[in-house]
Amino acid sequence: MKSARLLPLLCLVLAAAACAPDSKDGGRAASGTGTSSAVSSGGPAALYAEAQKFGRGEGVPRDMRRAVALLREAAAQGHVPAMNALGQIYSGGNGVPEDAREALRWYGQAAERGSADGHVGLAQLHRDGRGVPRDMARAAAHYRAAADKGKALAQYNLGVMYRDGEGVAKDAVEAVKWFRAGAAQNDAAAQYSLGVMYDGGRGVGRDPTEARRWVTLAAEQGIAEAQFSLGQLYAFGQDVPQNWATALGWYRRAASQGLADAQNAYAILLVQGLGGPKNATEAVRWYRLAAEQGHSQGQHNLGLVYEEGNGVAKNMAEAARWFRAAANQGNAGAQIKLARMLANGDGLPKNDAEAARLYRAAADKGHPEGIFRLGTFHRDGRGVARDPAAAAKLFRTAAEYGHRLAQMNLVVVYAEGKGVASDIAESYFWLLQVAAVEQRESGKTSDATKEQGDLLRRDLTEARRRAIEERARAWRPKPPPKTE
């Protein structure tokens, strides 16, 4: 599951089209495109209203050709909303062939007359390089012109540009200023982004309460990322009391909107029965939805339920298929699972060379299990050349992350000088770490560990033994890097 830190919305929000989407009939034309004298006599406002009827199919057959003709006539008489509508129609190819240069022309005429919507349209075209070369600085200038006129969408997008340093110098304080302006107008994306800034202390003092307030407002308006972020906060209990039921509810709302992160998180809670009854069968459905969107952890988790037969019939071939999909995206946990199947010939033909490659891929990301398993392959010469020195180095790296099996192997490596110079002191040090783990897990030290300790102590002076034991008590494992 991801860290509870709130994630920013990464994309700029597009303006909504002014006219309704095309109907399935492709927008059949009415018998004529002329304008009635009654409509013409009503002036540009009447022409615009009539165009809206044809564009939406309200009381008349939907006819975009007629709508565009009416809008052009209104625009020719200086009607700014008609200019913006034409810009949106041509920009989106809504019932007409898409024509970015024509959209640019109409948005430009609206902007020249002081229209905030016209500036937003121009900003989007310059940002995307449609009809003009891509120019983030000009996009920012048009967003600013619209933002200064109070356009919430522009205020949000300008905030994004300051946050990310696109078209303007990166400035978190300025980003907060514009997010706050949009949020005050109830723009959901701006509310969420403002919450993220409060959460991370970017451009404003960190304030978890304010962060949660703004994110909640955005979540209640349906921003899936905000809903997921609230689920994370309550699941991890960061800055709020942990509440699995509340986390489950927010995950479900975001998952229902198709957010893959939330689908995966919701499934995890269903499998574990956190916040509600266990429901492995339902969890499989949500894992699959996330996996089919290419979510690597969802693919990994779907592989796990097939491997375990949890909520679905056990199927090692399906497990391997999903582990491979996640492994191909660099998911270290899936790389290790797939490697183990290949090493053991479990559901797949045995292939030590491929298993070694996958263990190395996970090890290169700093995954302790991948590091340890690659060490065993070098020790035994499986899929790679036998190399005791490389094995010892890998065992040491994994042991320093607290990997118990690696620590046990180091006891032997140092005691017997396998790939390293024999060092009874180091062997004893790592044995003490193994004993500490046994004490934590079972409340006692195993007989085998005690016997090994007695043997090693015989070769150490009292002073040397005490120094090693003091060092062992002070030792703490390094936190492994995040690999998923």
14, pLDDT greater than 70 = no
Per-residue pLDDT at 190 exceeds 70? yes
Q: Which two tokens stand for residue 436?
A: 């500490």
Q: Which of 90, 140, 146 is nearest to 117 (CA)?
A: 146
**CATH 2.40.10.120 at 370-484, yes or no:** no
Instruction: Give the pLDDT mean for 92-119.
Output: 96
Q: Note the pLDDT of residue 10.
A: 35
Its sign, for the CA torsion 429, 434, 437, 438, is negative
Tell me the per-residue pLDDT of 50-67, one tens digit each, with 9 for 90 and over: 999 999 999 999 999 999
pLDDT at 41: 64
pLDDT higher than 60, residue 207: yes
pLDDT of 199 above 80: yes
Query: Is 324 within 8 Å of 333 (Cβ atoms)?
Result: no
Out of 17-26, 128-137, 159-168, pick the least confident.
17-26
pLDDT at 25 over 90: no
Cα-based torsion angle of the residue sequence 125, 129, 134, 135 in order, rounded to the nearest 10 degrees? 0
Of residues 33 and 192, the one with the higher pLDDT is 192
273 has a pLDDT exceeding 80: yes
- CA 15, 18, 24, 27 torsion-angle sign: negative
Q: Is 3 exposed, middle or buried (0-12, 13-18, 19+ CB in 10 A)?
A: exposed
* Side-chain-facing half-sphere of 20: CA atoms under 13 Å: 17
Residue 103: pLDDT band (50, 70, 90) is very high
- The two most distant CA atoms of the chain are separated, in Å, by 111
pLDDT digits (tens, 9 = 90+) for 277-326: 999 999 999 999 999 999 999 999 999 999 999 999 999 999 999 999 99
Check: CB of residue 114 under 8 Å from CB of residue 137. Answer: no
Q: Assign 411 to helix, strand or coil.
A: helix
Question: Is the pLDDT confidence value at 249 over 80?
Answer: yes
Query: How far, in Å, CA of 414 to CA of 433, rounded?
Result: 14
Around Cβ 258, how many Cβ atoms within 10 Å?
12
| Average pLDDT rounded to a whole number, residues 105-110 | 98
| Contact between residue 33 and residue 66 where contact means Cβ atoms under 8 Å apart | yes
Question: Where does the pLDDT of residue 483 fall: very low under 50, low under 70, confident under 90, or very high at 90 and above?
Answer: confident
| Contact criterion met (CB below 8 Å) for 274 and 251 | no
Q: How confident is the prediction for the chain on average, in pLDDT?
A: 92
pLDDT of residue 11: 34
Q: Is the pLDDT of residue 252 over 80?
A: yes
CB atoms within 10 A of CB 71: 30
The sign of the dihedral angle between the CA atoms of 168, 174, 179, 182 is negative
Per-residue pLDDT, 482: 82
Residue intervals in the chain for CATH 1.25.40.10: 41-149, 370-484
Percent of the chain with pLDDT over 90: 89
Q: What are φ and ψ of residue 216, in 5° steps?
A: -65, -40
Which tens digits make up the pLDDT trace of 357-379? 999 999 999 999 999 999 999 99
Q: Looking at residue 10, what DSSP letter applies? A: -
User: Domain 41-149 belongs to what topology?
Assistant: 1.25.40
Q: What is the mean pLDDT of residues 176-198?
A: 98
pLDDT of residue 94: 86
Q: What is the pLDDT at residue 40?
A: 60
User: Residue 132: its pLDDT value, please?
Assistant: 96
* CA–CA gap between residue 105 and residue 203 (Å, rounded): 37
The residue with greater pLDDT, 26 or 157, is: 157
Question: Once rounded to an integer, what is the mean pLDDT over residues 143-155?
Answer: 98
**Residue 342 pLDDT greater than 90, yes or no:** yes
Kindly give, in sequence order, each residue whose CB lies less than 8 Å from that of residue 253, ignoring residues fewer than 6 positions away.
Answer: 219, 224, 227, 262
What mean pLDDT do residues 456-465 have?
Answer: 96
